[in-house]
Chains A and B, each alone.
Chain A
Amino acid sequence: MVRNEQSRVARWANMPLLSVVALLVLYGSVMVQSATSGMGSGDALFRRHLIGLAIGLVPLAAAWLIDYRGFKGWLGPLVLLNALLIISPRIPGLGDTAKGATSWLQVGGFRLFQPSEPAKLVTILIMAIVIAQFKGRLDSPRDVAKVMGFLALPLGLILLQPDLGTGLVFVAITLGMLLIGGMQPRWFLVIALVGVIGIGVVLQADLLETYQKNRLLVFVDPSLDPKGAGYNLAQSKIAIGSGGLKGQGLGSGTQGNLNFLPERHTDFIFSVVGEELGFAGAVVLLGLYLVLLITALEIAAQSHDLFGSLIAAGLISMWTFQILENVGMSVGLMPITGIPLPFMSFGSSFMVTNLAGVGMLLSVWSRRKGA
């Protein structure tokens, strides 16, 4: 019986995935420790980071144990849950506002978590259920419109918070899943066109908050405001560039330690990696992400059914976009949005969500063909 259990775990567990996630989490912890060491409450922050990690192991295990296929019949409840998650910060007495976005859930002044984080996973499940219904053939305008309709609800609510970055994550997730779900290439062109027009309308119609517009304008020309909105970007680039090939050494980055680098344990953790560990450290990190994503892709390909593949594709899309956005903004390739770096950044809701996502991948892997 014990033997049987062990072999079952061995067959269920995807060792490359678990290893690379463990390495990423370890790497992230070292960097968070380094980034927070110079702060007044640095030790407390680092402890919170480790607690977030520990908490995250629970949903990871739970998601792994639960058979993902059971979610197929839960479309209605999941849509309701998603709406509830996203609306909850807006409920008086429950929401809390930070940096212009009402994205925290709080009870009695104590911040619990950001509901938009688990909402990403719920959205992946919803989309997987909807897209899987088309059995890999998604071509008629009606079908595309149906999928988009399911995206519209969470996206619209997120943009109302307003949280542009998280909204874009939802779009990226959906696009990646539509690709695997069999949508014809021309539809991507149509969506891109609609997107561009949409952005134009948003900019013209003054729907963006001033700080969001500033971020976009500064992305185009950082010298517009070197001490204001452009400051973060400029300081981040200086930190990464000055790391050179081998970096300043762990804990020795002047940009970070002397507080030139803002949000360095959260959104700009990659800048600390770049400054302290240099190109070498950055490439090691990108390498780890490559292993993570290829492994996830392998899991998608090995899935028992299209539903599992779609879930894996959703996670791959989510992580890929977040890496692109976070590292991209740190090096000035992308506009600045508050997207953290998966498995690296400080932030419990985010960490727990990503670890739960790993659990979902393992759930798909455990039920693969021949498992």
Chain B
Amino acid sequence: MPNFRQDLKGRFAALGLVVLLVLGALFVRLWSMQVLSGDDYAALADNNRVREISVDAPRGRILDRNGVPLVTNRPTLAVSVPASAKDDDELLMRLSTVLAMPVEEIRERVSSVKEEALRPRVVMIDTPSEVVAFLAEHEAEFPGVEVQVLAVREYPQGSLAAHVLGYTGEVSEDQLAEEEFQGYALGDQVGKTGAERQFESVLQGDKGYKRIEVDATGRPRKDIEQVDPNPGRDIMLTLDVNVQRVAEQALASALVEAHRDEFPNARAGAAVALDVETGEVLAMASLPTYDPKVFLGGISTAQWEKLNAKESEFPLNNRAIMALYPPASTFKAFTGLAGLTHGVTGEWSGYYCPGKWTEMGEQWPKYCWKRTGHRGISFRQGIVDSCDTVFYEIGYEFYKQKDEKLQKYASQWGYGSRLGIDLPGEVAGRMPDARWKAEFNADYPEYIRWLPGDTVNLSIGQGDVLATPLQVASTYAGIANGGRVVRPHVLKEVLDSKGEAVKSVETEVAFTPQVSAEHLAIMRRALEDVVSEGTAKDAFRGFGAKVAGKTGTAEVAKKDDYAWFTAYAPADEPRYAVAVLIEQGGHGGSIAGPAAREILAALLGLPVEHVTATDASR
């Protein structure tokens, strides 16, 4: 027994060694974690407790040329629901009762679009205060449902100028992949169309952020750091609220007038008013229109489908720049200028209009709109009375001269090309020539050859030529300002926080056609006579300023005639140009003319009065 200690000496040492090994292993591990990797773990700890919340920058406002607000911002109480709620029927039922919304609409809003799965979806904005109170009191029955203050767009003028202004919506995943949207996050509101889209980078501003410390349950404990957002800049547009309102009302009246005139299918139209010197757009209207408010808080699929349905005539489209129409008789001014420039005609060149024109052969007759014929008629009077035969002759002469001089000349004015207006979606139009026709009909070999009739049709703005109302207005502004086609624009100034302009848009010339002052003067005299004694006489009777313009009545397959009127005023010292188009509205002089009259009156500060005109010409 006394010797047991000697016997077990080695065993005590072994136990001591185990102790040392255990403590040594822990020591090494702690050294590695705390001393060698301490910074990595510290970063993980910060990642645990620090949350960064982005603070949206207030979006810039949009003002008219006189500073009248067109789009501003307002706070709203929004109800958001977690995406997971879409499978929680009981929660959706309760929400449906409280929000007075159908279950399916809530479900659709929650599950719509392919967004980040975890992000809560806004299902309602402008939530009534009693609903907010109810949700707050019954928090436990609505897990994940939150009421938050959101800033949304406010439209003090209602749907006025909706197409120019555009609407906003959540940035799409596709957009996030683009370079322009670097720094945006899902859920950010961005401009989707119109000026909101065009000037997104100016309006958006820079987000701020707030860093807060949260506990393990995500509850905020304290603020660490805050960087205030940098608000977006206000922009001033060239639009004039008063002119815009008159333009929209004039289009609406024109539709009513067309219905009374037995054109029941008239449901759409467009109007543009430009400053002829600067290209500033004072009004741009398109009917039917839409209410940009429906996009606030996210549009429902049902509403979206309705806005994109054929039956509703595509109200989201800005017809002034996105729709293409045969320019019809408004194009005669350019056929005429081409004829004058190339020596094919002169102011007093004489023509004979039999009503039925058979120069291309008896088997290919063409008719003047006046079937009884204008008989002996000068080039100038051909403009005034819009005699088709005069222009058939000019067009046929161009065909015979080859070389597509008419198309080349019209292209110099910008037909077939975009003007480059500062709005998204502008289309180029079409100036048909032999090459185009061959390509267009490549699958129909019998139609690929350019025929005399093609040039003859083009000469009266029919056939395959297509233009936007903006192109028609801009080219007439070009006639008015001495032969320059100025690039139209809607942005006037970008403002700083004090309302001072930090950027003003300069006038740019888009096209410089070949035209002599003498030929321009001939055309301007003829266009003045159109209004004083010709096809637009009735629409402008008793008008307080001298106006020059041109009517047009476009034939469109399987549709009623489209009514055109384009003009500039005052005729002697032109300041403004307008173009009005009414789809299936009938005659230019009686339907589009009075609408243009009202817009010109608003532009010139004359009394705006609605007149009823009769005219059965082109």
How many of chain A's residues touch chain B, expressed as a range?
35 or more
A136 touches B8 (CB 8 A): yes
C-alpha spacing A147/B214, complex, angstroms: 54
Residues A274 and B34 in contact, CB atoms below 8 Å apart: yes
Cβ contacts under 8 Å, A233 to chain B = none
B19 and A306 contact, CB distance less than 8 A:
no
B336 → chain A closest CB, angstroms: 78
Least Cβ distance of A277 to chain B in Å?
10
Chain B residue nearest to A298 in the complex (CB): B12
Residue among B1, B30, B35, B40 having the largest count of chain A Cβ atoms under 10 Å = B30
The contact of B49 among A136, A254, A324, by CB within 8 Å, is A254
In the complex, what distance in Å separates the CA atom of A293 from the CA atom of B42?
A: 33
A341 vs chain B, min Cβ distance (A): 11
* Alpha-carbon distance between A245 and B42 when the two chains are bound, in angstroms: 12
- Asked if residues B25 and A333 are in contact (CB atoms below 8 Å), the reply is yes
| CB–CB B4/A254 < 8 A | no
B11 touches A180 (CB 8 A): yes
Assembled-state Cα–Cα distance A286/B18 (Å): 14
A274 vs B38: C-alpha distance in the bound complex, in angstroms? 11
Interchain CB contact (< 8 A) of B14 among A179, A255, A327:
A179
- A248-286 Cβ-contact flags toward B at 8 Å (1 or 0): 000000110011100000000000001000110011001
Contact residues, B351-406 vs A (CB, 8 A)? none
**B440 nearest CB across to chain A (Å):** 61
Q: Which among B11, B25, B214 has the greatest number of chain A C-beta atoms within 10 A?
A: B11
- Taking a contact as CB atoms under 8 Å apart, the answer to whether B30 and A279 are in contact is yes
Q: Digit string of A170-194 for contact with B (CB within 8 Å is 1, else 0)?
A: 0000001001101000000000000
Q: Which residues of B contact A333 (CB under 8 A)?
A: 25-26, 29
Instruction: Judge whether B33 and A241 touch: CB under 8 Å.
Output: yes
A346 at the binding interface (Cβ < 8 Å): no
Neighbouring B residues of A279 by C-beta, 8 Å: 30-31, 34-35, 38
Residues A245 and B7 in contact in the complex (CB < 8 Å), given A180-B12, A259-B216, A320-B19: no
Q: State A70–B23 Cα separation when bound (angstroms).
A: 34
The distance in angstroms between the C-alpha atoms of A202 and B209, with both chains bound, is 53
Q: Are B34 and A238 in contact (CB under 8 A)?
A: no
Interface residues of B in 1-59 (CB under 8 A from A): 1, 4-5, 7-8, 11-12, 14-16, 18-20, 22-23, 25-27, 29-31, 33-35, 37-42, 44-45, 48-49
Partner of B34, one of A240, A289, A306: A240
A323 vs B216: C-alpha distance when bound (angstroms):
28
Is A258's CB under 8 angstroms from B23's CB? no
Q: Are B29 and A331 in contact (CB under 8 A)?
A: yes
A362 within 8 A of B: no
Query: How many residues of B are in contact with the other chain, CB < 8 A?
Result: 40
Q: Which residue on chain B has the smallest CB distance to residue A258?
A: B215
For B216, what are the chain A residues with a Cβ–Cβ distance below 8 Å? 258-260
Interface pair B33/A240, CB less than 8 Å apart: yes
- For residue B138, CB closer than 8 A to chain A, the reply is no
Whether B213 sits at the interface, judged by CB under 8 Å, is: yes
What are the residues of chain A within 8 A of B217 when measuring CB–CB? 259
> CB distance B19 to A309 under 8 Å?
no
- In angstroms, Cα B31 to Cα A317, docked, is 25
Alpha-carbon gap, A331 to B23, bound state (A)? 13
The answer on a CB contact under 8 Å between B27 and A239 is: no
Q: A122-150 CB contact bits vs B (8 Å, 1 = yes)?
A: 00000000000001100000000000000
Asked if residues A244 and B26 are in contact (CB atoms below 8 Å), the reply is no
Q: Which chain A residue shows the least CB distance to B34?
A: A279
Interface contact B44-A241, CB-CB below 8 Å: yes
Contact with B along A227-250 (1 / 0, CB 8 A): 000000001011111111100000
> Is there an interface contact between A306 and B4, defined as CB atoms closer than 8 Å?
yes
* Contact flag A320-B41 (CB < 8 Å), given A255-B48, A258-B221, A259-B217: no
On B, residues with C-beta under 8 Å from A are 1, 4-5, 7-8, 11-12, 14-16, 18-20, 22-23, 25-27, 29-31, 33-35, 37-42, 44-45, 48-49, 213-217, 221
A-B contacts, 17 of them at CB < 8 A, read: A136-B4, A180-B8, A180-B15, A238-B44, A240-B34, A241-B44, A245-B38, A258-B48, A258-B221, A259-B215, A274-B30, A286-B30, A289-B23, A293-B19, A294-B16, A297-B15, A306-B8
Not counting A293-B23, A306-B1, A333-B26, a sample of 12 additional A-B residue pairs whose C-beta atoms are within 8 angstroms of each other reads: A135-B1, A180-B12, A238-B48, A240-B30, A241-B40, A241-B44, A241-B45, A244-B35, A274-B30, A278-B34, A290-B20, A327-B26
